[in-house]
Amino acid sequence: MNRRALILDELGLLPLWVRRERAHPPPAKAERTAPGETAPVLTAADDRASRIARMSWPELRESVRTCRACGLHAGRKQAVLGVGDEQADWLFVGEGPGAEEDARGEPFVGQAGRLLDNMLAAIGLKRGSDVYIANTVKCRPPGNRAPEPSEAAQCEPYLLRQIALIQPRLIVALGKTAASILLQTDASLGSLRGRVYQFQGIPLLVMYHPAYLLRTLADKAKSWEDLCQARELMARLKAGERVLN
């Protein structure tokens, strides 16, 4: 078995199947759009948000390290800003650190992290090389719960600053929480995947979270479809195409 086949086997995707054509129509051309919604305007910047919006990487790291802007700071061992190439074309955004991430200070470690690494490898990517991985909140929500809207709102300026500093060609929202926060929608993940959205002018795709895929083997095949779509989209973006949908 060659390396690609080994990776696909690891993902539970063999035998290989043929990708179906996209079933959904494209979304409206707008920033931060979700189905059935008009494009929301970003929250007006308060003092804190506008300060964060001017930060350099070292300032951002220090600010996140010492942040107490929401209650999540109380239960963390450390804040987890993100990891990877700070000029990456690919930005993957998950939900928040879990216990292992909190202990190690890096997003997507442990079993879900290994699956994400395998998913990246399946499309020729590697953590840290042209890839940056972040979360919507930087501190661990207790008991692996999803972040509260108020916590996500307090942490959003950090993610926005990361996006502005990295300037990725493509953002991939991993899981319902990241998709909901980035697209400002309550739509199900199943209804969101397979389409190209825009986040402040940057194409955005939605995929299943690796932790969900570990629990739901049946959807691994769909994640391969999403990975193929992402790879094709990136090729178009690198060729200079302006992809709006």
**Which spans of this chain sit near ligand SF4 (rule: CB under 6 A)?**
64, 67-70, 72-73, 79, 137-139, 151, 154-155
Query: Would you tell me how many other CB atoms lie within 10 Å of the CB of residue 20?
Result: 8
Enumerate residues 6+ apart whose C-beta is below 8 A from 95: 135, 136, 137, 146, 147, 174, 175, 177, 178, 209
Which CB, 70 or 134, lies closer to ligand SF4?
70
Which CB, 27 or 147, lies closer to ligand SF4?
147
* CB of 154 vs ligand SF4, minimal distance in Å: 4
With beta carbons less than 8 A apart as the criterion, state whether 116 and 100 touch: no
Burial of 66 (0-12, 13-18, 19+ CB in 10 A): exposed
* CB of 93 vs ligand SF4, minimal distance in Å: 14
Q: CA-to-CA distance for 162 and 165, rounded, in angstroms?
A: 5
Identity at 111, one-letter amino acid code: Q
* CB of 192 vs ligand SF4, minimal distance in Å: 24
Which CB, 138 or 220, lies closer to ligand SF4?
138
- Could you tell me the two tokens for 195? 């389409």
* CB of 193 vs ligand SF4, minimal distance in Å: 26
**Strand ranges in the chain using DSSP code E only, listed in sequence order:** 82-84, 90-94, 131-135, 170-174, 197-199, 202-207
Which CB, 80 or 91, lies closer to ligand SF4?
80
With beta carbons less than 8 A apart as the criterion, state whether 31 and 39 touch: yes
Alpha helices in 17-169 (DSSP H): 47-52, 57-66, 99-104, 110-122, 149-166
* CB of 195 vs ligand SF4, minimal distance in Å: 28
Query: Would you tell me how many other CB atoms lie within 10 Å of the CB of residue 143?
Result: 7
* CB of 41 vs ligand SF4, minimal distance in Å: 21
With beta carbons less than 8 A apart as the criterion, state whether 245 and 27 touch: yes
Which CB, 24 or 145, lies closer to ligand SF4?
145
Which CB, 68 or 145, lies closer to ligand SF4?
68
Which CB, 139 or 233, lies closer to ligand SF4?
139
* CB of 91 vs ligand SF4, minimal distance in Å: 17
